[in-house]
Structure 1
Amino acid sequence: MAISDIRRQYSLSSLKEADLTDHPITLFRQWLEDAINTGIPDPTAMTVATVDTDGQPSQRIVLLKDVSESGFVFYTNLGSRKARELSVNNRISLHFPWHFMERQVRVCGKAQRLSAAENARYFLSRPKDSQIAAYASKQSQPISTRELLMTQFHQLKQKFANRELPVPDFWGGYRVVPHQIEFWQGGEDRLHDRFEYNLQDNGLWQAQRLMP
């Protein structure tokens, strides 16, 4: 079968004006809970898109670690490609690809670095092997072999076998403060339901329906 011939109907649900909430985060939390309740792996997985100084976008999958009316939180190595790009251009886009529910959510906003206290609180809550991995990997930097990476990991594991790791200064989190959030619900015959929330100058959110 040709790729161009792969298609199906989207008919699981709909999104109506009556389903909207005053604040988009309220609706997002409902959708996130729906995704979690399905039991799928990584329901908090999201695509994070950043742009370099040449205007070249790049994307990667990151796990959402917190969400509130203040924004969406994720953590990373501060020497990673995304962190380097955010240091010169903090405009960012998130995408939640819940295609198994015929849903997706798109977020546009600006990334703000979290405080040292917030970073420490989350880092120390991680499993110890995950903490060690953060030290072992200089994220996004070239390495000759996987064996070298594993050697570094095991050496650190032995070094810190009987003591806690300090919170690294090269690792931390970002809060994506949104100004636009779109909810997409698949519809039959490609007549999808799309609603875009935009943050107004008065601090309130205004939603509008978009054509599919």
Structure 2
Amino acid sequence: MEEPVLEPTDFDTMRVGYGLHARLDVADLEDGWLPLFTEWLDEAGRRGVREPNAMVLGTVGAEGRPSTRTVLCKGVDEGGVTFFTTTTSRKGVQLAQSGYASVTFPWLIAERQVHIEGACHPIDRADSLAYWRTRPRGSQVAAWASEQSRPAESVAELESLYATAAQRLAGVDEIPMPDRWGGYRVVPDRVEFWQGGPDRFHDRVECLRDGDGWTARRLQP
């Protein structure tokens, strides 16, 4: 039996237009990046973005090659953006090597994105533990079961790892936090707000750290 012939993807048919929003006002960023970010985050949720706190985390290893993956933001304040992960994972190793990261919030339904760049460092273990205690029990078991980023021979092996961890922790009322798990904070020195514009003439405004404050400027599309 002959294999079906797959037609090449027609990328031209995927083109969509933009234009939900009026032009950004640089003055909206006079008080820094956080107020507008919070406003956009809330709007993304109202527009139906699934997990609007999902962000693409970019890291760079010792060899200079960039790597990205999606993680969940678990806190934002003037100090930066917080997320949690296995510290011995690929991204954890790369963060230890470079000390810097970028994150992108891709709110495509809302025709908006926010890009944040800066130093990235582990948060205090006490703060990680406070968040750990809020996690569902199954997620806690999973953190013990998986040595994140290590190879796995099969699905059966993965299921066995989880089952073994669940059995080992079955009688533990309060599951402890693994030493290899914790939080990180990206401390911004650059934040860019992007929103789609008609004819691909998009709107971009960036905030740059300036001492203890911020300066904002418009960028060409």
Given the alignment, which residue of 196, 199, 202 partners 2:209?
199
In the TM superposition, what whole-angstrom CA distance separates every residue of 1:109-133 from its partner, at most 9, and x where no partner exists? 0101011101111111100010000
Query: Counterparts of 1:56-205 in structure 2 under 5 Å?
Result: 56-163=65-172, 164-200=174-210, 202-205=211-214
Aligned residue number for residue 31 of structure 1: 40
Q: How many angstroms does 1:158 deviate by? A: 2.0
Q: Give secondary structure in 1 for the equivalent of 2:109.
A: helix
Match of 2:218 in 1: 209
Matching residue's letter, 1:191:
F
SS in 1 for 2:193: strand
Q: Distance in 2 between matches of 1:61 and 1:99?
A: 15
CA distance in 1, matches of 2:85, 2:101: 15
Q: Distance in 1 between matches of 2:14 and 2:158?
A: 40
Q: CA deviation at 1:35?
A: 1.1
Q: After TM superposition, give the deviation of residue 165 of structure 1 in Å.
A: 1.4
CA shift, 1:182, in A, is 0.2
Report the Cα offset of residue 43 of structure 1. 1.0
Number of the residue aligned with 2:5: none
> Shift of residue 60 of structure 1?
0.1
Residue matched to 2:4: none
In structure 2, relative to structure 1, the CA distance for the partners of 1:38 and 1:5 (3 Å cut) is closer
Partner of 1:48: 57
Unaligned runs of 5+ in 2: 1-8
Contact 2:26 2:216 in 1 (8 A): no
CA contact (8 A) 2:129 2:177 kept: yes
What stretches of structure 1 of length at least 5 have no aligned partner? none
What is the DSSP-based 3-state SS (H/G/I as helix, E as strand, rest coil) of the residue aligned with 2:171?
A: coil
User: What SS does structure 2 have at the residue aligned with 1:129?
Assistant: helix
Runs of 4+ in 1 over 4 A off after TM superposition: none
TM-score under structure 1 normalisation? 0.95
**Rg: which structure is higher?**
2
1:17 correspondence with 2:26 = yes
The percent identity for this pair of structures is 42
CA distance in 2, matches of 1:19, 1:204: 14
